Amino acid sequence: MTDSNINKDHHNCNFSSTKYIIGSLVLGLTFGLLIGEQAAKLQVLGDIYIGLLQMTVLPYIMFALIANIGRLNAIEAKLLTRQGVLVLISLWLIGIFSVWAISMALPKVDNAAFFSSLLIESAPKINFLQLFIPANIFLSLSDNAVPAVVLFSMMFGAACIGYKEHQSLLEYCNNVTKILLRVNSFVLMLTPVGIFGIAASAAGTLTLEEFGRVQAYVLMLVAAVMLVTLVVMPLLIVSCTPFSYRQIFRESRNALLTVFVVGSVFVVIPLLIKGVTRLFHEHITTQSKHSRIPDMVLPLAYPFPDMGKLLSLVFIVFAAWFYGRPLDFLDYPEMLVIGLFLNFGKLITTLPFLLDLYHLPDDIFNLFFAVGIICGRTADVAGAMHLMTFTILTTALMTGLFKIKWGILIRNGLISLLLFFCISLGIRGFLEQQRSIVHPQDQILQMQLLNDRVHHTVSSLSMPNSVTLEPDQHLIDRIRQRGAIRIGIHEDSLPFSFYNAQAQLVGFDIDLMMYLAEDLQVAIEFIPYESGYLLQQLENDHFDIAVSGITPNPRLLASTRILYSSSYLDTHMALVVPDHRRKQFSDIKQYSKLKDIHVGVRKESNFAARINGFFPGFKVIELDSEADFFDLPAFRNQVLLTSAEGGAAWTLLNPDYDVVTPFSIHQGAPLVIAVGGQDLMLEHFISTWIKLKHTDGTIDTLFKYWIQGEATKNKATK
């Protein structure tokens, strides 16, 4: 490492992390707030910037590790593998524990949420062999498998140690890393443009509630960094070396302040080495053979994941919580170990990989960049302290100054644990106070029809049509003659037909029928029905057609007593289960081990006809409405078989329940319109009309509003 390289890096960091970034961040946020959702188009600037930053990551890791490890001599290699690895692993364990400890700051969230495609997508299984073993290094590079690339590079570099003809190869690798750093410096010149696009897009598309929730990540990361940097690592040094906390703070404060201002750990390496050398000055003279150990040890640790990168994995914990899918306790070891290996690269590679791994939307990565100027510099402070701690402890081991003072170590460990607990509890209390008091049920009960232009009435009783069909008259002719269409509806079929908080009949199917009546230029008479009597009421001419989340029953279809239209929406089979039993029902292969399980299902539905094939050992109870499942005490702690689309809506009213989808993505049922009178002409008309509504985007608009809960003020167009 030369002074010229340090100065160049310092210059680049100054350019990319001072007034230009701050100005572009403020400008982007302001511009995004002014133009709203139109700012989403500017995200392309951020995507280009992120992509350019990522393109040098893996090549740099590979060539830098080969060059750094290959240049070691036998003594240096022994140092790294014995004392250095021990210290490094200890620091990594502290970082991993810190991420888990600070995650306690996140308040409990209700898993209740509108339907999302994440519900029906099975989480990808991790191929650890492909992730960690570089059977084909070129495939590992193309698949962005950072752990495999790191392993290959470390083994290649280790093979170069002691090899007489390696000098030109290592020089070549070293030159490649310098060129890659230059390429990266050119990309850094685009930082203000990239930050502007990301900030504008985030400000224009994120809601105030989402911005409020971002503060959870910022608070958690800042708190973890401050605790680890100012408490945990200094106290660890105090417990194992002759140095006092005052001495450590005095020698580290300038470097820590500098790294926060500059935004780069690399440029403070000389400051850190000087600080460590001064600490050991009383114990190691400049003439001693150990005097150069800090100069040699600290650069060796630089390519490895530091505490700042580890603590930044808090973002994955935050992202899972943000989307209402918090990580389970057993998810933490897996995520943190994989994240540790991925952190041989950069966070812009690590975080997207982990988001995909845990099936979290990539969109939240924009939040990471939106607060990056604060969180990135904060994490770098922990990274700098990590290098200093590693160097002090390793040097102490090599010089015989390392001695564990068990009493002090236990005391300092308890102090650290207590501080983590108290600060996590404080952040949790603050976040709970900041959260707006919006009950999940309000999200759906306040919804209004997108199309309220059609005159309609809702009957309290179901009676046969007062205008009987004439011989050879089709239903559609009578509908036009009367100027009204009679539609059967189930009044408790979320989110397809239900009453909102204002006692208005609303829902996906109600809105869809408004468009049908508008196209027919007739009014609507909504007639209530119960699931068990739908067929009878259709045969007795109580209504012309029926809706409300109807899934075709194969038995009724084969009887030719009922006609169904083509599908206007394909649903996916799912279970609604109590939150605490979510894990039990997530794996269908384990169902045979469960005892005394009652499964509720809607009468005469497609699912009711198939349920025995899925749950041969369970007691099946057919219900008139899914609402009965939540109202009847007998179903407490039991499960409901329904659609993921409908089940998600029911969890909004019953936040203690959650939706699980253990079935194949192809297991589901279409939603159809039931046609009375075995009238093929009306069935053909409605099926053709449904195709038109698919084509013109009406059904897609209704799906986004009623099923996915996208609150929009724009009325759907005809």
Pair (620, 491) in one structural domain: no
Classify each residue of 633-656 as buried b or exposed e, where b means 16 or more C-beta atoms within 10 Å of its C-beta.
eebeebbbbbbbbbbbbbbbbbbe
Output the pLDDT for position 559. 63
95 within domain boundaries:
no
3-state SS of 240-294? Answer: HCCCCHHHHHHHHHHHHHHHHHHCCCHHHHHHHHHHHHHHCCCCCCCCCCCCCHH
Q: Region 590-609: what's the mean pLDDT? A: 83
Output the pLDDT for position 610. 81
Q: Which domain holds residue 678?
A: 443-567+672-707
Query: For the segment 636-655, what is each residue's pLDDT rounded down to a tens digit?
Result: 778 999 999 999 899 888 87
424 within domain boundaries:
no
Which stretch of 122-131, 159-168, 662-671 has the lowest confidence by average pLDDT? 122-131
Most confident of 155-164, 340-349, 398-407, 427-436: 398-407
593 within domain boundaries:
yes
Output the pLDDT for position 31. 87
Is residue 149 within 8 A of residue 140, CB to CB? The reply is yes
Pair (545, 678) in one structural domain: yes
Output the pLDDT for position 550. 93
Output the pLDDT for position 362. 66
Residue 641: phi and psi, rounded to 5, are -95, 120
CATH of the domain at 583: 3.40.190.10
Output the pLDDT for position 76. 66
Pair (464, 612) in one structural domain: no
Last residue of a domain, which of 206, 231, 265? 206
230 within domain boundaries:
no
How many CB atoms are closer than 10 A to CB 529? 22
340 within domain boundaries:
no
Most confident of 102-111, 212-221, 468-477: 468-477
Given a cut of 70, whether residue 10 has pLDDT beyond it is no
Output the pLDDT for position 393. 93
Is residue 676 within 8 A of residue 547, CB to CB? The reply is no
How many CB atoms are closer than 10 A to CB 293? 22
693 within domain boundaries:
yes
Given a cut of 50, whether residue 358 has pLDDT beyond it is yes
List CB contacts of 524: < 8 A, sequence separation 6 or more. Answer: 454, 455, 456, 457, 484, 485, 487, 513, 514, 517
Pair (508, 519) in one structural domain: yes
Output the pLDDT for position 140. 82
Pair (576, 525) in one structural domain: no
Pair (659, 618) in one structural domain: yes
Output the pLDDT for position 458. 95
Which of 340 and 569 is assigned the larger pLDDT? 569
DSSP summary character for residue 637: T
Is residue 668 within 8 A of residue 572, CB to CB? The reply is yes
Pair (646, 549) in one structural domain: no
Read off the pLDDT band of 678 (50, 70, 90).
confident
Number of domains comprising the chain: 3
Determine if the peptide bond prior to 107 is cis (ω within 30°).
Answer: no
Last residue of a domain, which of 162, 181, 206? 206
Pair (692, 632) in one structural domain: no
Output the pLDDT for position 718. 39
2 within domain boundaries:
no
* Helix boundaries (H) for 18-73: 19-35, 43-54, 57-70
Output the pLDDT for position 691. 97
Pair (476, 611) in one structural domain: no
* Token pair listed for 244: 């006092």
Last residue of a domain, which of 206, 222, 249? 206
Sheet with strand 545-546: strands edge to edge: 456-458, 523-528, 484-489, 545-546, 674-675, 563-564
Which of 608 and 527 is assigned the larger pLDDT? 527
Is residue 49 within 8 A of residue 184, CB to CB? The reply is no
Q: Region 272-298: what's the mean pLDDT? A: 67
Pair (63, 134) in one structural domain: yes
Pair (619, 524) in one structural domain: no
Alpha-carbon torsion, ordered 290, 296, 301, 307, to 10 deg: 60
Q: Region 170-189: what's the mean pLDDT? A: 81
Pair (576, 559) in one structural domain: no
- Reported as half-sphere exposure (CB side, CA atoms, 13 A), residue 183 has a value of 15
89 within domain boundaries:
no
